[in-house]
A and B are shown apart, each in its own frame.
Chain A
Amino acid sequence: MKILALYADVAGRDVIEHLRQLASLLKGMRVIHVNSTRVGGGVAEILEKLVPLMQELEIDTKWELIRGDEEFLECTKGLHNALQGNPKDIPKSLLNVYEKTNAQNAEQLRHELEEADIAFIHDPQPAPLLKFCPNRKGKWIWRCHIDISRPYHPVWRYFRNFVLGYDASIFSLADFAQPLPHPLYVIPPSIDPLSEKNVSLDGGEIESVYEEFGINLELPIILQVSRFDRFKDPLGVIRAHKLAKKFISSLQLVLAGGGATDDPEGEVVLKEVQEAAADDPDIHVLFLPPEADRTINALQRGADIVLQKSIKEGFGLTVTEAMWKGKPVIGGDVGGIRLQVINHHTGVRVSTPEGAALRIRYLLSHQDKLQAMGQKAREFVRENFLITRLLRDHLALMVALIYDVEDRIELD
């Protein structure tokens, strides 16, 4: 079965027909995506789906990688962190490696890149490629997947020189955009409804996951899925559970997440969480491996309410995932959560553990409201945050750039 047909069942036939018509304006165009990894991470996850979908729409799409050694990775990790606000300089020697590695990769990719009608260059790693392709024919777009709203200035000043020459940039939220002398497109993230993380599961599979962890599906369950990170406020969630449990004695809390093994701060937070949960058998702290997508899917589907009580957040795709499963979300009043959790419609936004506890009690004692919010949350995601919408935005952007649209164009 063709991939688009599978998405038609989830997103709607009209949506797929719309994509086909829009893509017909780009038929045969040569498009290239370049990033730094084919597996792991959000960018690879998106390209894994976006590239075959564009190919099926008869756009000649390729996906290429930029390769580098340990020093290159060390430099790009530093760049990544500094652009997200970490005030740490990068040694000149590493920056030289960064530029040299891009020059070497450009040697390999130059023909493909210079011949492409549209090149999407993802994140900071391959951004300097443009500088090494002086005879480029097409439009080049820098796709920034990270939050660079408040970058560490010395590093941004160095890096921005590589993106100034692009024809356009794409940011996930308007707040993340930095002033650059070209159009700054805003395309919010999306989830893939057919991935292991989001595909529908049968009741038996959900039951067996909960059974495996010794959690009673018959009793009320609240869940937070996130890294063990202070910005996700897992201790605040435990406090909210404790407060709500005074009124709902059978209330269970599941804190599920992983963490980078090279993140010492994550280990400290996990330990604090385990200590705070130690005296309550109704709190289940699950440290899951990165490949546990299906397990997380089952946990989200079995919960009554999903929490994302972050005190700082980018977009918050775990919120989108929970909403897609028909769950109301109690979320922190920050970042992209504000764009998804519409107060009293798709969930509730809170600022304190007390606020979260109050909303848990309210929703669990108003099952009709809980169900209605969950349904609305799912529809909200269906209309706005599925990968088909992300694809549509990319197609519209490509047409706008190819046809040099100022604010509107009518095509036959």
Chain B
Amino acid sequence: MVKDCAVVAIATGIHVQNLRELRDKLAAVPADSIYYHFWGSLLLPRFEEPEFNNDFAAWAYHGLRDPILAERLAMIDPTDFTDMEELRQELLEVVEERLYESEYVPWSKLDQQFHFMRSQIVVFDTHKRITDPKMLSVLVPSLSTGSIFYHFIDARRRSPEGVDDLSAWLSQFGDRYAELIKSIATIDPYFTTLAELRQMLSQLFKTHLEEKGR
């Protein structure tokens, strides 16, 4: 079953200008705001070249001009945490540690404040169905970026094992697609756009399902 989704961004009206404010608000914002700044923004205009894999790291670098904090925040992998509260705790730990180390509280310019956002996600059925994995090489290039997001990125949060829907489905066929699943796992979804991700997946399925099948 192929699903698709659309995300719309909402400003929470909460914004911060220094690291101490970031810590205080991080502790208080709704969990879906944390989700947005790690995952949801992938589906919205990528204003920043994805040099950092979450908005907090990007702001630490560009807004606070603190590369050390940016690097530490960027290395937080959200799939390591079972829920958003655990992820929030990890963020707070990193920020607290940096506040402890700093001689002064880093500030951003007034026009470079961090705006906490959240999102609403609408998921809908495309009524497209496939039963044979070989059809993936035809299907994936025609999918919308919303479908790519839902099945390849959002799925990692939905499934207890933190895997994407494509790999989960292929694993139902025993070891037959083990090599393909391994190749899918090598794709890092954070440092690319969804359109590029679709292209990478398409190429992978073409190589594994068409060319190797000959």
Instruction: Please give the residue numbers on chain A whose beta carbons come within 8 Å of chain B beta carbons, in ascending order.
Output: 13-15, 17-18, 21-22, 25, 171, 174-175, 177-180, 183-188, 334-335, 338-340, 342, 345, 383-385, 389, 392-393, 395-397, 399-400, 403, 405-412
Chain B 106-150, CB-CB to A under 8 Å as 1, else 0, gives 000001010101111111111000000000000000111110000
> Can you list 26 A-B pairs with a CB-CB distance of less than 8 A?
A13-B142, A15-B144, A18-B4, A21-B4, A22-B4, A22-B122, A25-B124, A175-B111, A175-B113, A183-B10, A183-B120, A184-B12, A186-B117, A187-B8, A188-B45, A335-B111, A383-B195, A385-B45, A389-B45, A395-B6, A396-B6, A396-B120, A397-B8, A407-B121, A409-B121, A410-B123
- Looking at A180, A389, A411, the one whose CB has the most chain B CB atoms below 10 A away is A411
Closest to A174 in B: B115
Q: Is the CB of B7 within 8 A of A184?
A: no
Whether B25 is near chain A, meaning CB under 8 Å from some CB there, is: no
Closest to B30 in A: A407
Whether B32 is near chain A, meaning CB under 8 Å from some CB there, is: yes
Q: Is the CB of A342 within 8 A of B45?
A: no
A186 CB contact (under 8 Å) in B11, B125, B142, B146:
B11
| Residues of B within 8 A of A (CB-CB), count | 38
Q: In the assembly, what is the distance between CA of A82 and CA of B128, in Å? A: 51
Q: Is the CB of A399 within 8 A of B122?
A: yes
Q: Is the CB of A342 within 8 A of B142?
A: no
Q: Is the CB of A396 within 8 A of B8?
A: yes
Q: Is the CB of A411 within 8 A of B123?
A: yes
Q: In the assembly, what is the distance between CA of A345 and CA of B45, in Å? A: 15
Q: Is the CB of A396 within 8 A of B122?
A: yes
Q: In the assembly, what is the distance between CA of A171 and CA of B121, in Å? A: 18
B8 CB contact (under 8 Å) in A180, A185, A403:
A185
Closest to A389 in B: B45
Chain B 173-196, CB-CB to A under 8 Å as 1, else 0, gives 000000000000000000001010
Whether B49 is near chain A, meaning CB under 8 Å from some CB there, is: yes
Instruction: Please give the residue numbers on chain B whose beta carbons come within 8 Å of chain A beta carbons, in ascending order.
Output: 3-4, 6-13, 15, 32, 35, 45-49, 111, 113, 115, 117-126, 142-146, 193, 195
- Looking at A22, A174, A177, A411, the one whose CB has the most chain B CB atoms below 10 A away is A174
Q: Is the CB of A384 within 8 A of B46?
A: yes
Q: Is the CB of A407 within 8 A of B32?
A: yes
B145 surroundings in chain A (CB, below 8 A): 14, 18, 383
A180 surroundings in chain B (CB, below 8 A): 13
Q: In the assembly, what is the distance between CA of A219 and CA of B119, in Å? A: 48
B143 surroundings in chain A (CB, below 8 A): 14
- Shortest beta-carbon distance from A405 to chain B in Å: 5
A396 surroundings in chain B (CB, below 8 A): 6-8, 120, 122
A178 surroundings in chain B (CB, below 8 A): 13
B6 surroundings in chain A (CB, below 8 A): 18, 22, 392-393, 395-396, 399
- Looking at A178, A406, A408, the one whose CB has the most chain B CB atoms below 10 A away is A408
Q: Is the CB of A407 within 8 A of B118?
A: yes
Closest to A382 in B: B195
Closest to B126 in A: A21
Closest to B3 in A: A410
Closest to B45 in A: A384
- Looking at B7, B46, B47, the one whose CB has the most chain A CB atoms below 10 A away is B47
